[in-house]
Amino acid sequence: MRKTASTHWWILAAACCCMLLCATPSSAAESDAINETPKIDNVGFMENPPKELVDRFPMCDAFLNVEWIDKEKKIGISHYSLYNEKGEKVVQSIDALIHLDPQFPRYDYSTTEYYPGSSIDSPKQPFNKKNLHNLRSLIKNGKVDRTNIDLRIKGNSRGIEFARLPYESYSLANHQRNICVPYPGNHRMWLAENKYISKIYSNDKLKKIRKTLESAHLMSNKISILEGFDCFLSVDLNFDGKQDYYACNSLLYSVGDDYYELIRGSHAEYGKLKFPPFCRKCEINAFSDCYLTTDGEQFFLNNQCNLTESTKGDE
């Protein structure tokens, strides 16, 4: 039986620290502190992305090609390869649906099988590529009806539901490149997959960063906050020239010469966020995925909280 959205949230929260990403390209000056990793390519990446995209989104190492079926619903189709944790290509090429849902953005809905109707107990059926035209028509004319973590499209007399690809562990680039999925119009990017901090920094560099953060203004238990440090996302959220470190449930950001920790509300107020030392606040949907987007000048958490404005120092 498939999981509900609320069940998925708790599974995601527990696993998110092992799925964190890095969005900062390495510089020549840091070459002695950065692990040399092989460049992993993918059939789904833009071969020659437009200069305006590269210039506007320097945090993206690669852009995933998306053919939009319905731009308003933000549903499209992509074709890409998949890698395992060892960096081995396990799937040469596969077609998948993209849905940039405000709560649960996905790039991995299978187009090879689907659940007919609206019953979660309906058996899966194979999807014939010859019916792709019918799929496009259903998406354009149907209604997105998300009652769980799958993508459900309902028509007047029928509906189909697409589940995620049947792979327990996979990635687009083995977390060695920053992969961005464009929104329709290319005005915003979803940071769908990025580099693990442990895959771009040497052990000596990681030790120095950890030492810096251990002396930061942390509001919760330091051991628990830094426990999954090797999997943190490293990104300069406030563009002050210093790296900030993000996990699904944690954010350590620089203000001047210090680092501060994002404070989340507990239990019912979990989605309410506070940013010391300036008492800035914002709010997100506590039951959606933890994900970052950018317009090239600012970073956003769940497309709701402006992390750049919330973490910048006094002007």
Per-residue pLDDT of the chain (315 residues; tens, 9 = 90+): 344 433 333 333 333 333 333 333 333 334 434 555 557 889 999 999 999 999 999 999 999 999 999 999 999 999 999 998 888 898 999 989 999 999 889 999 988 766 665 554 555 555 555 666 677 888 888 888 776 678 888 876 667 778 888 776 789 998 888 899 999 999 999 999 888 888 888 888 888 888 888 777 666 555 556 767 777 888 899 999 998 888 777 788 999 888 888 887 776 667 889 998 988 999 888 777 889 999 999 999 999 999 999 999 875
Q: Please give the Cα distance from 76 to 74 (Å, whole number).
A: 7
What does the longest C-alpha to C-alpha distance in the chain come to? 62
Strands 258-261, 263-264: parallel, antiparallel or unpaired by DSSP? unpaired
Q: Is-contact 34 25, C-beta < 8 A?
A: no
Cα 190–chain centre separation? 6
Dig out the tokens for 186 from the structure: 């290319």
Q: Please give the Cα distance from 34 to 41 (Å, whole number).
A: 20
